[in-house]
Amino acid sequence: MTNTNTVLNPIPMRTWRWLGVNETKLTGEIPFGKIGNYNKKVLQDDRAAIAPIAQLPKELAAYAAKTDAVVSEETSRLAETENNSGYYIEIAAGEKLAAPIELKYELDQENPTLVDRHFIAARKGSESTILISYTGDAPKAFHNGLTRVYAEAGAIVHLIKLQLLGDTAVHIDAVSTYAEKDAKIEFTTIELGAAESITSLKTNLAGDQSTADIQSIYFGDGQRKIDMNYVLRHEGKQTDGSMQVHGALLDHSSKTFRGTLDFIKGTKGSVGREAEEIVLLSPSVRNRSVPLMLAGEDDVDGHHAVSVGKMNEEKLFYLMSRGLSLRDAEKLVIEASFQPALDRLPDAGIKEQISEYIRRRLAHVE
Amino acid sequence: MEKKKTFVEDIERSLYDIKNEDRPIYKTDQGLTEEIIRNISREKNDPEWMLDFRLKSLDVYCRTALPSWGPSLEELDMNQIVTYVKPDAKMTGNWKDVPEDIKDTFDRLGIPEAEKESLAGVGAQYDSEVVYHSVKQELVEQGVIYTDMESALREHEDIVKEYFMKLVPPRDHKFTALHGAVWSGGSFVYVPEGVHVDIPLQSYFRLNSPGAGQFEHTLIIVEKNASLHFIEGCSAPKYNVTNLHAGCVELYVKEGARLRYSTIENWSRNMLNLNTKRALVEKDGLIEWVSGSFGSHISMLYPCSILHGERAKAEFTGVTFASKGQTLDTGAAVIHAAPHTSSNISTRSISKDGGIVVYRGAIKVTENAHHAKSSVNCESLMLDDRSRSDTLPVMDIANDEVDIGHEAKIGRISDEAVFYLMSRGISEDEAKAMIVRGFVEPIAKELPLEYAVEMNNLVNIELEGVMG
């Protein structure tokens, strides 16, 4: 399998080639067939509900088939066949987890390559939070992940992905979720690291009255490249989807965000909301935003909005009237815009760690 | 209880569907070969450089693939298309000299009437050639040139050579290459520095011949501090074979100049409308597009404004209405290539009875275009669940001093709005009609009166049943 031509994050509906948003390609290499071991401790506690991914029950194959559409077929196959870590997590029917399940991956000198595959089965009426974090500053680290989430009727599942990899890392991560009737998927992503970060999210609101609530923040600095492909598919009746994305770009960073609201014929009474707000802080950044809205059903209420560049002048004016410089006021506004996503982190320690990290990164902005 | 749908009537098409006998004086064979190109060029008395240009374009056409995006164009078989149909009529400046049946067609479409009442000049193209052109004497005295492209090529060869297909080069895509090879007819407008053409000029394009293509070229140059309003209308009767329209519009808006370009496109439902329009706007210039897309089987039309000089501005106002059997893939693109440029795009789309509308757009801001401002607003109204409405905008921003906003909405006629109007004593039928009229109002008010009236025919609402 060759590397350089692997098409990643294809857009659901193609447009003009000169815009360069139909797909992306990786500058670095995907080490097909060369995945070493990952030997570090991942689980933070021993719970019976968590088993290695190899023990995924056969009967869940049907569930896996419903969680499709990811970064690319090749990278998914890599995660399926060459994974060196991964877990099957089952939350029993009616079980409400008091504490989140935490999976920590730290890519260091000895473990610079991670290919992880996870399957989360949230049984009927269960409630759970799963936090998966990727950290570590191993040079040339490589991560390729695939996480599937299946929420049975009435289940509430909150998946948090936190990415704080080093500045030379490649991060490819696909998340695919499926919601049955009355189920709720919450998804929080915090994309702060890696040289190249290519991520996808597919959420299928298949059941009637199912809901999805997506909060995502990204931060680009240095030469960082960020590519995101999020699809929220409304299939059941009276589904409710929301996708809120906040980002800041500085230095020579570049970012493409494709966010799609897809209303399938028959998804009557559904509501979809998508918003992306981007703050640009350096003259040589590159921002591409592609909000798609596809509708085969008239009885829907769809709305998307993108705002690039300009901050809320009233907020800035207020802060400056309290003695802050324009730049400091801007930094504060950025931090505030990240807050809704950060507030969803279960642990105050992590929240403070991330806030501090962002403050440090913003410090050199003049 | 099942919700009843408001019934919005199709556009009354009988006026456009009048067919004349197809009796050209010259017609090329079907298809596209070097020989056909040479024949067209000979028939049109092209200068040598134009023949070369056509042949090079043909070469580009043959080497260029169909677009990898957008609606399928599989049904297009260039071997079945007649690219040049010369009507049995000489170009004239006197309406009386236009042949009777052709004259009747334009009379019914109201063209000469409009000239008398509200236009400063009129051009009428029938199949591949312009059959009538006239312009008010006082404009001629001010140095305004408004003529057909063929006359322009003979009488103002230097200007045409300087500008022709420089803004939209044949290499752009397959259908601009096709246009470069087989173009015929169209209008040429030149407005000298400081001249304000206060009343609009209008060109009307009519395709009568079945299985033919129309490839008119419109070239407009508005010099420094001058202004112009140009109106373009298109229609054709319905045939059972595919007709093709691959026109090209190049607009040069110089420093401080203003140009408003209004189009009402009402091609018949067997037409593939693959048109390319582009404007180059210099410092302090303004381009305003007003675009109504109602006809054709498939349309791919995205007027593009290149804001090349500081403080150049673009405004785009468009309405697209797709009904049964139609895929109307339309939109707008703006390239901000200079500081302090601004753009404003506002579109309304309606789809019904299985029609598909797509809004496809692009806002590109280059590295040097600091303080660029852009605002895009797209609203789509779906009248049933057999139709489709897709929105696909792209923003590509390469500097940090910008203010870019985009907003889009999809939905149907809101029950709350209908209830509210009914609570004020308005009948349900009228309430729904008011809402649809209100929906297209921002566009209608930008149109010249006669076109606004035409568009109101759209919003003839009949109602069945009761509220769901």
pLDDT tens by residue, A79-109: 999 999 999 999 999 999 999 999 999 999 9
Instruction: Show the beta-strand stretches assigned E in B326-458.
Output: 327-336, 342-351, 356-365, 372-382, 388-397, 402-411
Strand partners, B328: B299, B357
- Under the banding of pLDDT at 50, 70 and 90, the label for residue A27 is confident
CA dihedral A85, A144, A277, A17 (to 10 degrees): -160
* Residue B20 or B162, more confident: B162
Q: Does B408 touch chain A (CB under 8 A)?
A: yes
User: Cβ–Cβ of A283/B410 closer than 8 Å?
Assistant: no
Helix (H, G, I), strand (E, B) or coil at B113: helix
What percent of chain B has pLDDT above 90? Answer: 56
- Under the banding of pLDDT at 50, 70 and 90, the label for residue B468 is very low
User: Cβ–Cβ of B399/A298 closer than 8 Å?
Assistant: no
Tell me which residues of chain B, numbers 34 to 93, contact chain A at a CB-CB cutoff of 8 Å. 68-70
Amino acid at B336: H
**β B6-8/B461-463 pair status:** antiparallel
Lowest mean pLDDT among A279-288, A327-336, B4-13: B4-13
Contacts of A296 in chain B (CB under 8 A): 385, 388
Strand partners, A102: A131
Tell me the C-alpha to C-alpha distance, in Å, between residue A65 and each of A61, A121, B134.
Answer: 6, 13, 67
d(CA B375, CA B343): 6
Tokens of B374: 């852009």
Residue of chain B whose Cα is closest to the Cα of A301: B411
User: Cβ–Cβ of A292/B395 closer than 8 Å?
Assistant: no
* Residue B374 or B102, more confident: B374
d(CA A300, CA A267): 7
Q: How many Cβ pairs closer than 8 A exist between chain A and B?
A: 146
d(CA A311, CA A317): 10
Residue of chain A whose Cα is closest to the Cα of B375: A307
A209 in Cβ contact with A236 (< 8 Å): yes
Average pLDDT over residues B265-285: 93
- Under the banding of pLDDT at 50, 70 and 90, the label for residue B15 is low
Q: Which of A215, A279, A216 is nearest to A253 (CA)?
A: A279
CA dihedral B427, B432, B435, B440 (to 10 degrees): -130
**β B24-27/B85-87 pair status:** antiparallel
d(CA B191, CA A328): 51
Average pLDDT over residues B357-383: 96
Q: Which pLDDT belongs to residue B451? A: 67
pLDDT over threshold 90, residue B174 = yes
* Residue B20 or A337, more confident: A337
Lowest mean pLDDT among B111-125, B306-320, B379-393, B397-411: B111-125
- Under the banding of pLDDT at 50, 70 and 90, the label for residue B247 is very high
CA atoms within 13 A on the CB side of A147: 23
Residues B340-353: pLDDT tens digits? 999 999 999 999 88
B302 in Cβ contact with B328 (< 8 Å): no
- Under the banding of pLDDT at 50, 70 and 90, the label for residue B436 is confident
- Under the banding of pLDDT at 50, 70 and 90, the label for residue A4 is low
Q: Which pLDDT belongs to residue B2? A: 46
Q: Which pLDDT belongs to residue B70? A: 94
d(CA A277, CA A191): 15
Residue of chain A whose Cα is closest to the Cα of B351: A298
d(CA B409, CA B139): 44
Q: Which pLDDT belongs to residue B9? A: 56
pLDDT over threshold 60, residue B6 = no
Tell me the C-alpha to C-alpha distance, in Å, between residue A67 and each of A116, A209, A292, B367.
Answer: 16, 19, 21, 40
Lowest mean pLDDT among A343-357, B240-254, B428-442: B428-442
pTM: 0.92
- Distance between A150 CA and the closest CA of chain B, angstroms: 28
Residues A177-228: pLDDT tens digits? 999 999 999 999 999 999 999 999 999 999 999 999 999 999 999 999 999 9
Beta-carbon count within 10 A of B407 CB:
17
Tokens of B124: 């009428």
Q: Which of B378, B382, B308 is nearest to B340 (CA)?
A: B308
d(CA A298, CA B328): 17
Rounded to the nearest integer, the mean pLDDT of chain B is 87
Amino acid at A361: R
Average pLDDT over residues A247-264: 96
A62's CB contacts (< 8 A; 6+ apart) are: none
Q: Does B353 touch chain A (CB under 8 A)?
A: no
* Residue B5 or A174, more confident: A174
